[in-house]
Amino acid sequence: MNLLQYDVDLLAIKLLYGTVKENMLNTTLFLKNVSDLNYVCLDAAENLWVYNMYKFDEFGRDVTQLMLGALQNVLGNILKINKLVNQAVAYNEKNETAAMYQVFGQIYYILVDI
């Protein structure tokens, strides 16, 4: 029996008897053996899901409160965002794509940091 067959059988048993958290971890470890690229993709998606649920829990699992917090964040940082957008336009005109993408990352970080 090769490693892949052993991992599939072991994963099936773990999925039957594990909790949701354990099953996600077991699935991630299984995919790491199959393909490193799939592992990185699944791990990033899993981390994003956990982070989003953490933020959702901070707002009492209420979508209205979450959206209100996001709007307040944007209103509080509107001058900074406007300055960064103007920088991105200037970098685009100079054809400096790396600097422009860095500015987009800064804007994204401001928007998601509720």
Note the pLDDT tens digit of each residue in 18-42. Answer: 666 666 666 666 666 666 666 777 8
Dihedral (C-alpha) 19, 25, 30, 32: value to the nearest 10 degrees? Answer: 170
How many alpha carbons fall within 13 Å on the CB side of residue 103?
Answer: 18
Note the pLDDT tens digit of each residue in 48-59. Answer: 888 888 888 888
Domain boundaries defined on the chain: 1-58, 62-114
Show Cβ contacts of residue 33 under 8 Å, excluding neighbours closer than 6 positions.
Answer: 3, 4, 7
Average model confidence (pLDDT) for the chain? 81
Confidence of residue 1 (pLDDT cuts 50, 70, 90): very low
Rounded (10°) angle between helices 78-93 and 63-76 = 60
Note the pLDDT tens digit of each residue in 60-95. Answer: 888 899 889 889 988 989 999 999 999 999 999 999
How much is the pTM? 0.52
Euclidean distance between CA atoms 32 and 20, whole angstroms:
18
